[in-house]
Amino acid sequence: MRDTGPVMSAPAGAHYLRARRLGIDTQYEAVVFMHKDCPVCRSEGFIAHNRLLLRAGERHIIATLYQSTTDLVAHNEAALSESAWVRLDLKDGDTISISHPDSLESLSLVRGRIYGNEITEDAALAIITDVVDGKYSDIHLSSFITACAARPLERREILALTKAMVDAGDRLSWNADTVLDKHSVGGLPGNRTTPIIVSIVAALGLTIPKTSSRAITSPAGTADTMETMAPVELATADIHRVVEQEGGCIVWGGAIKLSPADDILIRVERALDLDSEGQMIASVLSKKIAAGSTHLILDLPVGPTAKVRSQQAADALSVGLYAVAEAFGIKAKVITGDGTQPIGRGIGPALEANDVLAVLQCEMGAPRDLRDRAIALAGALIELGGLAQHGSGAAIAAQTLDNGRAWAKFQRICEAQGGMRTPPKSRHRHPLAGARAGRVDAIDNRKIAKLAKLAGAPEAKAAGVELHVKLGDAVVMGQPLCTVHADAPGELAYALAYADVNPEMIMVQER
Amino acid sequence: MRDTGPVMSAPAGAHYLRARRLGIDTQYEAVVFMHKDCPVCRSEGFIAHNRLLLRAGERHIIATLYQSTTDLVAHNEAALSESAWVRLDLKDGDTISISHPDSLESLSLVRGRIYGNEITEDAALAIITDVVDGKYSDIHLSSFITACAARPLERREILALTKAMVDAGDRLSWNADTVLDKHSVGGLPGNRTTPIIVSIVAALGLTIPKTSSRAITSPAGTADTMETMAPVELATADIHRVVEQEGGCIVWGGAIKLSPADDILIRVERALDLDSEGQMIASVLSKKIAAGSTHLILDLPVGPTAKVRSQQAADALSVGLYAVAEAFGIKAKVITGDGTQPIGRGIGPALEANDVLAVLQCEMGAPRDLRDRAIALAGALIELGGLAQHGSGAAIAAQTLDNGRAWAKFQRICEAQGGMRTPPKSRHRHPLAGARAGRVDAIDNRKIAKLAKLAGAPEAKAAGVELHVKLGDAVVMGQPLCTVHADAPGELAYALAYADVNPEMIMVQER
């Protein structure tokens, strides 16, 4: 078709508005606020919740539109959420262009998966590329994840997905044939073995460049705990320097884009409380392949309130994991362990750091379970790395702890990362006592984690929960079962109120 | 557990903040904006995207949290989106309570469905009740919908879901044994037979209380079109009065809460472009059962750019629909029709109303396809309602149109609904001409709909597209194929720019 009338100066596909930083934290989601009656919304027919393409120079993002009906946003303005502002790298007064995004072609591949088509390598790449580009809304992400769970992923599909997730991000490489790594499947408070394992393994001359995550829904991630003892936000060049110098590091992985699709998908999986086997394998292995690892120990706590709830589920997961790992040249080993109660005593960044330091310094009162678990996992890594025969790794790990070499190595790693620190101490503490005498019968991992979060962890580094009892311990009436640590009186009060209405968090069985 | 220390005045589970109307349109989604450092966020550990329970008096909603990092929101304020404000029925300065919502128990039933469990009646009721209560986020809704598509719904499950959707809303009842209804599966622009059918059927003394929807993604819904001719937002009592007096009505269904879950689910299905058979049946029938209908004609346009794309798909849908309808005592009949091109000439509220009026007034130039389709559907309804033998309904319908009784009935219905109106005329028009001679080979329903929306439909009632050709028409070079109607020069320009880069919208094949 062509116009029969006079030529009109029709606008191109995009409109321009002045960018304004609105100061709204929406987490990962990019949001743009425009006036409902602004020329762009009117001419484009945009309505709230439309997904729009925003461009500023070379950068572009997809943002969700909300519309202002008051003078909160002017007619010539596009007000942006923090995530949108940062990703577009804007200064106040910059101009951005706004247009309809291209239609999301890869969505037809998601629909195909729903109706039973296989996810080929090409399909995986198309979907994951769009996911990383921020083109999928929560609705799309949730549909993809659900489709992969309702019709379980075939081995070939897990391989395709893992490869696509690796290819869509950065990759690290190391000057070593054997690059060790360790991963814990989450869900167990206080399971902070990483700093101990890295110290043992690196002290023995092996290479273990460990990237860890911060807490998302838990009271502490390994990066949060480690940060109370040393800086963890290192640039890639600095990470390489630390690892070359010390053989190992314990840094935050968020600064490097290893399998960025994983971070996006995991958030939605968590909201659905849905962890299908195939997705878990692709998630773990894509991060490890991208990190350049060659040998991997997977720590799998099994218990009724842990992520993996039975030995059978753990076994099934292991079979798939070994096969996919092998296809990518990674030697993997799954170590299952007791997931019925928290590990160590502290829950919260500084409190967990105290446990780590006690084990590394071989203190008399160091938590035995944390020490034993770290030794078991480090031993398995030593065997996997070829430094010890099968069955002798744990003894070597224990020796390396006991002779102080691991503690010395840990201090050197901390110094190399920017200088060792002393974990902060909480300002407010309050013991919670058992209402009856008896034996500790059950500890609810999820409720203990929530108590620590209400007390302020992980933002308040010193906040959290210090457990005084383990399963099976005999207690008398009024004996403190745990102590709540907080930095603000309000947070302490709120945690105590929660404890008050959840007495079954630590269950004492009368005899 | 109990405190061993001094008794603290711990806050209860809820916090109180002053409500403020922020003037942000987020469509259906309830959003609350709080300062990131306000006492509530700090003590509760709330982060952006948390789902919070807001209460004001007897009302409560679940809202998504966004956090302000500037003085946009004060520390003692909770600023609300329009949807949240309206649903809580607030005035400025009101106090609302904010707390964690109860955990979403029915989500385990969704997970169960993902892993292959049947949706029982109890499960359907639990899920749908939570959906209607606004407890499901987009992530949860999308997972539920995908799970129902990836493992197709069994007949029993469709029944359970339909029943739950009916029970979760209001129901209408009528003083008639036979209550007729008609539903069109969307996707075909200009398919505005409803006002004609209702007029014919009511003129014959049958009962047809028709509730219609407004456009969500299309350039016009039946309610939008009807509103250019008469008021459509009637209270339930007024609807009953109109139907008792005239036998029929054509009103907006949004004021009555018939199967409110359907409106929530459809929005997500649309974002996924996913219409599974079971969901479509539950969606259509739950609305009709709630509306008190006993006899239903389903208008199913079939074509490559329509919602149902093959006769085979239409047949499969019919079988399921008949079975479920019968279980609820509804006699249903599916009428398939040509879905390869728009119906009538106008696309947009007033332009479609012009077509409707031309058919009702038996104008010489009235669009033949709209007339034929209305007669076919009305004829089928007359037969279904027992007023005519099989095969003779269409003739009776045509006669009722031709003798002016349908037009008279339509005028009386409009008067009963509040007074007849004349559809508005557009201020700006621009013809689009064919670039070559030949025959009209294809018309893209979706692109024509988009053109009409860019021109301002449905908000601008007079805006839209007027088609001058049908499939198979011979055209000469430069002949106008359609005219764009708009109320604002900017909207006209934008529509023309879109037409310019989409010449294949109306395809002319050279010979």
A46-57 pLDDT per residue, tens: 888 888 999 998
DSSP string, A273-338: T---HHHHHHHHHHHHHHTT-SEEEEEEEESTTSSB--HHHHHHHHHHHHHHHHHTT-EEEEEEEE
Sequence-ordered list of residues with C-beta below 8 angstroms from that of B6, at least 6 positions apart, any chain: none
Question: Which amino acid appears at position A273 of this protein?
Answer: D
Model confidence at A10: pLDDT above 60:
no
**Cβ <8 Å between A138 and B141:** no
Q: What is the reported pLDDT for A11?
A: 39
Long-range contacts of B210-214 (CB under 8 A, 24+ apart): B210/B181, B210/B182, B210/B248, B210/B249, B210/B250, B210/B251, B211/B239, B211/B251, B211/B252, B211/B253, B211/B256, B211/B258, B211/B287, B211/B291, B212/B250, B212/B251, B212/B252, B212/B253, B213/B252, B213/B253, B213/B254, B214/B252, B214/B254, B214/B458
Nearest CB neighbour to A67, from listed B13, B25, B28:
B25
Pairing of strands A248-252, A208-212: parallel
Best residue of A102, A113, A143 to probe chain B, by most B CBs closer than 10 Å: A143
Segment B311-333 shows an average pLDDT of: 93
CA distance B114 to B472: 47
Tokens of B440: 């009209």
Which pLDDT band, with edges at 50, 70 and 90, does B178 fall under? very high
Q: Please state the ipTM of this predicted complex.
A: 0.85
* Active-site residue, B275 included: yes
Segment B205-230 shows an average pLDDT of: 92
CA atoms within 13 A on the CB side of A41: 24
B360-400 pLDDT per residue, tens: 999 999 999 999 999 999 999 999 999 999 999 999 999 99
**Cβ <8 Å between B3 and A430:** yes
DSSP string, A473-505: -EE-TT-EEEEEEESSHHHHHHHHHHHHH-GGG
* Contacting residues of A for B488, CB less than 8 Å apart: 42-43
Distance of CA B348 to the CA centre of its chain: 15
Whether pTM > 0.90 for this model: the answer is no
CA distance B454 to B490: 10
Pairing of strands B295-302, A24-25: unpaired
Model confidence at A44: pLDDT above 80:
no
CA distance A182 to A375: 13
* Residue with more model confidence, A5 or B362: B362
Nearest CB neighbour to A1, from listed B23, B488, B505:
B505
Q: What is the reported pLDDT for A7?
A: 31
CA distance B245 to A196: 83
Model confidence at B120: pLDDT above 80:
yes
**Cβ <8 Å between B142 and A147:** no
Nearest CB neighbour to B1, from listed A146, A481, A490:
A481
Pairing of strands B480-486, A480-486: unpaired
Task: Measure the CA dihedral A435/A437/A439/A445, to 10°.
Answer: 10
**Cβ <8 Å between B274 and A431:** no
DSSP string, A62-131: EEEEEEESSTTS-TTEEEE-HHHHHHHT--TT-EEEEEPPPP-TTHHHHHHHHTT----HHHHHHHHHHH
Greatest alpha-carbon span in chain B = 94
Task: Please measure the distance between the N-terminal and C-terminal CA atoms of chain A and give it in whole angstroms.
Answer: 88
Q: What is the reported pLDDT for A227?
A: 97
Q: Which of B140-144, B297-301, B304-308 has the highest mean pLDDT?
A: B140-144
B394-434 pLDDT per residue, tens: 999 999 999 999 999 999 999 999 999 999 999 999 999 98
Of the candidates A97, A7, A74, A99, which has an alpha carbon nearest to the alpha carbon of residue B454? A99
B219-259 pLDDT per residue, tens: 999 999 999 999 999 999 999 999 999 999 999 988 788 99
> Are A483 and A432 in contact, with CB atoms under 8 Å apart?
yes
At how many degrees (to 10) do helices B138-150 and A260-272 cross?
90
Cα→Cα distances A478→A481, A482, B501, Å: 9, 11, 78
Segment A65-73 shows an average pLDDT of: 92
CA distance A108 to A104: 8
Q: What is the reported pLDDT for A103?
A: 74
**Cβ <8 Å between A273 and B111:** yes
Sequence-ordered list of residues with C-beta below 8 angstroms from that of B48, at least 6 positions apart, any chain: A25, A26, A27, A29, B65, B66, B67
> Are A181 and A288 in contact, with CB atoms under 8 Å apart?
yes
Model confidence at B318: pLDDT above 80:
yes
Model confidence at B47: pLDDT above 90:
no
* Contacting residues of A for B449, CB less than 8 Å apart: none
Q: What is the reported pLDDT for B3?
A: 40
Model confidence at B2: pLDDT above 60:
no
**Can you tell me which residue has the tokens 């690196």?**
A202
Q: What is the reported pLDDT for A8?
A: 31
A263-308 pLDDT per residue, tens: 899 889 888 888 788 998 999 999 999 999 999 999 998 887 677 8
Model confidence at B216: pLDDT above 60:
yes
Nearest-Å Rg of the Cα atoms of chain A is: 26
Indicate the range of A76-80, B104-108, B425-429, B481-485 predicted with least confidence. B104-108
Q: What is the reported pLDDT for B11?
A: 39
Residue of B nearest to A218 (CA): B45
Q: What is the reported pLDDT for A13?
A: 59
Q: What is the reported pLDDT for A343?
A: 93
Q: Cα dihedral sign for B195, B196, B201, B205?
A: positive
Of the candidates B115, B60, B48, which has an alpha carbon nearest to the alpha carbon of residue B88? B60
Segment A170-196 shows an average pLDDT of: 90
Q: What is the reported pLDDT for B102?
A: 78
> Are B222 and B195 in contact, with CB atoms under 8 Å apart?
yes
Q: Which of A247-261, A398-412, B98-112 has the highest mean pLDDT?
A: A398-412
Which pLDDT band, with edges at 50, 70 and 90, does B267 fall under? confident
> Are B298 and B334 in contact, with CB atoms under 8 Å apart?
yes
CA distance A429 to B3: 12
Share of chain A above pLDDT 70, in %: 97
**Cβ <8 Å between A142 and B147:** no
CA atoms within 13 A on the CB side of B100: 14
Which pLDDT band, with edges at 50, 70 and 90, does B13 fall under? low
Q: How many C-beta neighbours within 10 Å does residue B301 have?
A: 25
Segment A465-477 shows an average pLDDT of: 94
Segment A207-224 shows an average pLDDT of: 89
Best residue of A25, A113, A139 to probe chain B, by most B CBs closer than 10 Å: A139
Best residue of A43, A106, A506 to probe chain B, by most B CBs closer than 10 Å: A43
Model confidence at B12: pLDDT above 50:
no
Over chain B, what is the mean pLDDT?
Answer: 91
Residue of B nearest to A6 (CA): B430
DSSP A154: P
CA distance A44 to A51: 12
Of the candidates A252, A289, A284, which has an alpha carbon nearest to the alpha carbon of residue A265? A284
> Are B508 and B475 in contact, with CB atoms under 8 Å apart?
yes
Segment A453-466 shows an average pLDDT of: 92
**Cβ <8 Å between B25 and A68:** yes
Q: What is the reported pLDDT for B187?
A: 66
* Contacting residues of A for B140, CB less than 8 Å apart: 142, 271-272
Q: Tell me if residue B209 falls in helix, strand or coil.
A: strand
**Cβ <8 Å between B33 and A25:** no
Given the residues B262, B275, B299, B444, the one annotated as active site: B275
Share of chain A above pLDDT 90, in %: 69
> Are B328 and B322 in contact, with CB atoms under 8 Å apart?
no
* Contacting residues of B for A478, CB less than 8 Å apart: 4
Q: What is the reported pLDDT for B501?
A: 87
CA atoms within 13 A on the CB side of B389: 1
Indicate the range of A38-47, A112-121, B121-130 predicted with least confidence. A38-47
Q: What is the reported pLDDT for A187?
A: 66
Tokens of A312: 């059978």
Segment A313-333 shows an average pLDDT of: 93
Model confidence at A4: pLDDT above 70:
no
Sequence-ordered list of residues with C-beta below 8 angstroms from that of B235, at least 6 positions apart, any chain: B255
Model confidence at A61: pLDDT above 80:
yes
Give the bridge partners for A442, in sequence order: A507
